[in-house]
């Protein structure tokens, strides 16, 4: 195995060790003997240094013309394009997703960076008529200040781009804590921003764990706002802290996403969509299709098709181009998924595929779980209600569209939902009645595009949404200022006059 790389924090334009000098290891989940890096294990002192750096850099960066900020980000996008293959391979090695998905992860960051670079010339407000003569009225977008950005491991370059790039184009400065499972991907992304010319102090990277880095960032008095993607329990804690400190926040915290398959569906297409939704990224997506709600008339036929497709999936190291599903990201996540499989068995669901770890051949040294399918699942079972975040799919039987939509909506989350049907009326009703932020017609629950807002309803999240422009991320990373200019030369009293 290659010698592990020393991975440092990035504070005030310099790469530095943690003040404690402690480190932790970043491992390849497909082969945990492969130690990729020795990573700075930071604490509140490193956070304090990063926040101070971001605070000092804020005035000059916020006063830099937004089109000029856009030019820097455009250069970053160009660098990402040139390094896509290398970065995609790193995503696969450090996070575990297959190579095609690793490249897609980087492509999403490229798309976001190009898109937000263009927003440097479109950070528009509104000019409206005043109700008084010789007076004008307008609104403008202004940067908020210092942002604390906390990102997950499942999209280790894409999701940081969703948060960092909009924050920067809006004129904010950033303290960035990536997931401890994927610190090297985050480091490479920050290196791109440094090379593109983002000034010292504007982007600061602090590696470490939630208790020792994430919590101090959220609570720091000089952090003005927070954006978080991760578990619902942690997101709820962050929302509570931010609320008590009167900080703006954005949190996106998962889903329990359904695909409804009606009796008039194209079953081959639906099967492909369910396979991609359920087992893409080994089910480790907040948009994963962990529930298939299938009409009773096609229930048995669909299960036969779906099981055969899942059985044929090639599971292994994602660096092998033939692999179709990679490992679970960590031992902790592996144990969580295995525990949910045990819950499903205990609840009485019928296991028809998988249900166990894979420890032989190319999977011998990694954290692999076989594609797992439960049938005869009922809506009250935990495996049908709670987010598992692994390659576990539950199949439920329904008799009509109304029953299907009721089951689809009867969970705590509302991120993504899909329907397969050739009946335009059925799809229209689903589009109207599905309580989710993302709705797909004859497509899987996966496939969001960066030019539209990403997020959901209920316990999926709070605050503005990631991605998109106006109506999306820019609503979180800017604050509104309304300006009235009176050039009448006399006191006018608005509604009184």
Active site residue: 94, 252, 271, 363, which one? 252
Q: 363 catalytic, yes or no? A: no
**CA 290/CA 469 separation, integer angstroms:** 29
**CA 414/CA 252 separation, integer angstroms:** 11
3-state secondary structure at position 429: helix
Contact indicator for 95, 185 with CB cutoff of 8 Å: yes
Q: 286 catalytic, yes or no? A: yes
**CA 352/CA 338 separation, integer angstroms:** 16
**CA 212/CA 323 separation, integer angstroms:** 36
Q: Helix, strand, coil % (nearest 5) of the chain? A: 40, 25, 35
368 Cβ contact list (under 8 Å, min separation 6): 30, 315, 316, 326, 327, 328, 357, 358, 359
Q: What is the DSSP string of 309-363?
A: HHHT--BS-TTSTT-SB---S-HHHHHHHHHHHHHHHHHTPEEEE--SEE-SGGG
The dihedrals phi and psi of 24, each to the nearest 5 degrees, come to -135, 165
**CA 497/CA 132 separation, integer angstroms:** 8
Q: What is the DSSP string of 169-231?
A: HTT-EEEEE--TTSHHHHHHHHHHHHHHTPPTTTEEE----IIIIIHHHHH-TT--EEEEES-
Q: Which one, of 247, 226, 184, 177, lies nearest residue 205 by Cα?
A: 177
Active site residue: 27, 242, 271, 286, which one? 286
Contact indicator for 386, 406 with CB cutoff of 8 Å: no
Active-site residue list: 252, 286
């Amino acid at each position: 195995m290659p010698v592990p790389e020393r991975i440092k924090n990035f504070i005030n334009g310099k790469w530095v060790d943690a003040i404690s000098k402690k480190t932790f290891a970043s491992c390849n989940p497909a082969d945990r003997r492969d130690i990729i890096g020795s990573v700075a294990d930071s604490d509140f002192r490193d956070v304090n240094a990063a926040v101070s750096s971001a605070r000092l850099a804020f005035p000059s960066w916020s006063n830099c013309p937004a089109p000029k900020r856009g030019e820097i980000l455009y250069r970053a996008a160009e660098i990402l394009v040139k390094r896509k293959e290398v970065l995609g391979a790193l995503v696969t090695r450090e996070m575990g997703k297959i190579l095609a998905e690793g490249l897609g992860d980087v492509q999403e960051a490229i798309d976001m960076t190009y898109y937000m670079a263009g927003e440097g010339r479109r950070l528009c407000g509104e000019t409206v008529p005043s109700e008084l003569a010789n007076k004008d009225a307008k609104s403008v977008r202004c940067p908020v200040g210092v942002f604390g950005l906390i990102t997950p491991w499942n999209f280790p370059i894409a999701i940081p781009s969703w948060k960092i790039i909009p924050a920067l184009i809006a004129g904010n400065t950033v303290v960035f804590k990536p997931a401890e499972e994927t610190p090297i991907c985050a480091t490479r992304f920050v290196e791109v921003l440094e090379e593109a010319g983002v000034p010292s102090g504007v982007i600061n990277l602090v590696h470490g764990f939630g208790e020792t880095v994430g919590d101090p960032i959220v609570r720091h008095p000089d952090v003005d706002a927070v954006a978080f993607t991760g578990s619902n329990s942690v997101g709820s804690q962050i929302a509570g802290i931010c609320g008590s400190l009167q900080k703006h926040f954005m949190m996106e915290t998962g889903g329990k996403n359904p695909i409804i398959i009606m009796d008039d569906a194209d079953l081959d297409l639906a099967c492909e969509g369910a396979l991609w939704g359920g087992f893409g990224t080994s089910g480790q997506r907040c948009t994963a299709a962990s529930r298939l709600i299938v009409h009773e008339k096609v229930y048995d036929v669909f299960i036969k098709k779906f099981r055969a497709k899942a059985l044929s999936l090639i599971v292994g190291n994602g660096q092998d181009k033939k692999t179709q599903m990679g490992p679970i990201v960590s031992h902790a996540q592996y144990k969580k998924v295995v525990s949910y499989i045990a819950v499903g068995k205990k609840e009485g669901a019928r296991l028809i595929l998988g249900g166990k770890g894979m420890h032989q051949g190319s999977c011998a040294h990694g954290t692999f779980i076989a594609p797992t399918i439960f049938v005869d699942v009922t809506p009250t079972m935990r495996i049908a209600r709670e987010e598992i975040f692994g390659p576990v799919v539950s199949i439920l039987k329904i008799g009509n569209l109304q029953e299907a939509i009721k089951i689809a909506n009867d969970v705590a989350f509302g991120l993504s939902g899909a329907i397969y049907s050739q009946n335009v009326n059925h799809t229209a009703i689903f589009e109207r009645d599905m309580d989710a932020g993302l709705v797909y017609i004859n497509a899987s629950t996966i496939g969001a595009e960066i030019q539209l807002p990403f997020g959901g309803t209920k316990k999926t999240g709070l605050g503005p949404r990631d991605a998109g422009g106006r109506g999306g991320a820019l609503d979180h990373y800017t604050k509104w200022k309304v300006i009235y200019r009176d050039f009448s030369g006399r006191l006018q009293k608005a509604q009184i006059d």
